[in-house]
Amino acid sequence: MLTRRLFVTAGACAFASSSLAQVVATLGSGDGTLTVLSDGSFELPLSMLARDVAPAELAAEAKQNGPMRSVLNVTCLRRGKDVILFDCGSGANFLAGSGKLGESLKAAGIEPDAVTHVLFTHLHPDHFWGALDEFDSPAFVNARWLAAAPEIAFWSDPKVYERLPGDRHAFAAGAQRIARELGERLERLEPGREWLAGIEAVATPGHTPGHVSFSVQAAEGPVMVLGDALTHPQVSFARPEWRPASDHDADLAVATRRRLLDRLSQDRAQVIGYHLPGAVGRVERQGAAYRFVAAS
Ligand SMILES: [Zn+2]
């Protein structure tokens, strides 16, 4: 309940419960298929998009006035015997409207016991809290759990509370509790390396100190699983210099976004955004900035 209070404090409006479990998108077919599964959605105040921009300008750029509905997209790669999840949703204890991954896995015909790996972009609640089931046991009993060493170090440090605003303390308490329950099963890996064959963890810090995105050599060609390096389909691309309230180190997140957008627009790689509607698309340069071109 702490976390729900947090979002009410942050100005979030209603918690709609209409989000349906679903398969959001599929890339490729056969071995190496990427499936994007919904963990639901929640509403955030528009002001979350930038900490120092006038509301009218914000609304114009975001192309909406009221609170925004942020979708949650969990990516699943199936290749050979591997069933690899990138993040695992928010579980039952975060916000109403989220925690739908279990139903979406069922809709996609994926048994929880079949999941072999869970790779984390970062340890925020909407990405990490789904690691435990309602009995506080690992939700995927046969999985290896892989996260970036600096990300685990940040959240596990008893002094993390001094580095976070009060309304984020519940994030730290949740991350510590889940890391404790996973124990030795939570493996610490370095960013900038291949964590599994054909899957490189690209350092994209700023949103959180140890945030990574995953460059995946999929059957369809290279795909970048972004995590929260780019979170809004207009603002993150057209205004990479804006400083969302959700970024821990706002200036570092801006630098990361610029570097990532430059790389992605040159590579023409497909991207999958955890919070981007429809999840899948490409990045195109547009004047001095960029735009997200959704796949469908
Ligand atoms: Zn997120």
- CA distance linking residue 183 with residue 11, whole number of Å: 35
Q: What is the DSSP string of 78-135?
A: EETTEEEEE-----TTS-TTB--HHHHHHHTT--GGG--EEE-S---HHHHGGGB-TT
The dihedral sign for the CA sequence 76, 79, 80, 86: negative
Count how many Cα atoms sit within 13 Å of the Cα of residue 225 in the half-sphere of its side chain.
30
Q: Tell me, what amino acid is at 155?
A: W
- In sequence order, the 6+-apart residues with CB closer than 8 A to the CB of 197 are none
Distance 174 CA to ligand 1 centre (A): 15
Q: How many CB atoms lie within 10 A of CB 190?
A: 13
**Tens-digit pLDDT string for the chain (296 aa):** 334 333 333 333 233 334 456 999 999 888 999 999 999 999 988 988 999 899 999 999 999 888 889 999 999 999 999 999 999 999 988 888 999 999 999 999 999 999 999 999 999 999 999 999 989 999 999 999 999 999 999 999 999 999 999 999 999 999 999 999 999 999 999 999 999 999 999 999 999 999 999 999 987 789 999 999 999 999 999 999 999 999 999 999 999 999 999 999 999 899 999 999 999 999 999 999 999 999 97
How far does residue 232's CA lie from ligand 1's centre (Å)?
Answer: 11
What is the rounded CA–CA span in Å between residue 264 and residue 284? 8
- If you measure from the C-alpha of residue 56 to the centroid of ligand 1, how many angstroms do you get, rounded to a whole number? 25
- The separation between CA 142 and the C-alpha centre of its own chain, rounded to angstroms, equals 22
To which H or E segment does residue 153 belong? Answer: helix 149-156
Give the residue extent of every domain in the chain: 2-294
Kindly report the pTM of this predicted structure.
0.92
Q: How far is the CA of 249 from the centre of ligand 1 (A)?
A: 15
CB atoms within 10 A of CB 65: 12
- CA 43 from chain center: how many Å? 15
Give the pLDDT score at 20.
Answer: 59
Centroid of ligand 1 to alpha carbon of 126 (angstroms): 5
DSSP string, 245-271: TT-SSHHHHHHHHHHHHHHHHHHT-EE
- Return d(Cα 295, Cα 146) in angstroms, integer: 29
Q: Which CATH architecture has domain 2-294?
A: 4-Layer Sandwich (3.60)
In sequence order, the 6+-apart residues with CB closer than 8 A to the CB of 54 are none
Q: How far is the CA of 128 from the centre of ligand 1 (A)?
A: 9
Residue 24: count of CB within 10 angstroms of its CB: 21
